[in-house]
Amino acid sequence: MTDVEVIRATSLGGVPHGFLGRRGGVSTGLHAGLNVGLGSTDDREAILENRCRAADAVLPQATLVTVFQVHSPDVETVTAPFAEDQRPQADALVTDRPGLLLGILTADCVPVLFADAEAGVVGAAHAGWKGAIKGVTDNTVAAMEALGADRARITAAIGPCIARASYEVSDDFFWTFAAVDPENERFFSASRPGHQQFDIEAYVAARLAAAGIGRVEALGLDTYTQEERFFSYRRACHRDEPGYGRQISLIGLAGASGQ
């Protein structure tokens, strides 16, 4: 495989970060490339090697920290690493401690990386539709503020996720969002009878903007259509494949606290 591809967001500047796809790594078959999903059916030794390669590509010598993701709005404030078998159930992490590399896994859901470089506070969120509608990104901003960040200084970058054209949902799904806020209708467009196309990237971006953070950047990369570059849960389902890989998005702090 090729070297690990690290996709960076202009808005996050010099803060160590990256959205990684499937390029690089040692996994083969359905998981070919940089599969980092401990919950996948891939070989565990390959997964662990891929996680090491991913971390080294973004912040060498840092300790990778991930959570057991459950599509919740819950955020974990990280002050020290925890063992893999003791990962808390949550879908976002924040820290102000240098040397920790926060990672969240996706395979169509929305990865969001956050930073207030002046305060030396960073965050990472996994926003599937359930977590997004329940406020996982809002809660991440609040947790960062508790560590001394200022939401007016926070930058959020949205990484590779499933695009509207690739994300068909039922009318019932549409009404779930419309019932929460009628303005959510703008994130849907008509598809075949009984279905809609959902722009989850735009929805998450709007939630971030409404939270009053300083800057939001959306990279506009579709995980479903770029098979050579990204894993996709929905693509695997449409093909009746027995498994799928996960990619990781990473952010951390280098150097002394407060930068």
The tens digit of pLDDT for each residue in 141-180 reads 999 999 999 999 999 999 999 999 999 999 999 999 999 9
pLDDT in tens, 82-139: 988 899 999 999 999 999 999 999 999 999 999 999 999 999 999 999 999 999 999 9
CB 55, CB 102: distance < 8 Å: no
Average pLDDT of the chain? 96
Nearest Cα to Cα of residue 12 among 151, 254, 217: 217
The single-letter code of the amino acid at 154 is I
CB 188, CB 177: distance < 8 Å: yes
Report residue 237 as tokens: 């389902």
What CA–CA distance (Å, rounded) separates 42 from 27?
Answer: 7
The pTM for the full model equals: 0.96
pLDDT at residue 259 greater than cutoff 80: no
pLDDT at residue 255 greater than cutoff 80: no
CB 213, CB 202: distance < 8 Å: no
pLDDT at residue 62 greater than cutoff 80: yes
Instruction: Return the number of other C-beta atoms located less than 10 Å from residue 117's C-beta.
Output: 18
Measured CA to CA in angstroms, residue 166 lies from 149, 162, 220, 232 at distances of: 35, 6, 13, 11
| Span between the terminal Cα atoms of the chain, in Å | 35
Q: Residue 258: pLDDT band by 50, 70, 90 thresholds?
A: very low
What CA–CA distance (Å, rounded) separates 30 from 219?
Answer: 26
pLDDT at residue 257 greater than cutoff 50: no
Q: Which CATH class is domain 6-163+199-252?
A: alpha beta
Give the gyration radius of the chain's Cα atoms. 17
pLDDT at residue 196 greater than cutoff 90: yes
Q: Residue 2: pLDDT band by 50, 70, 90 thresholds?
A: low
pLDDT of residue 84: 84
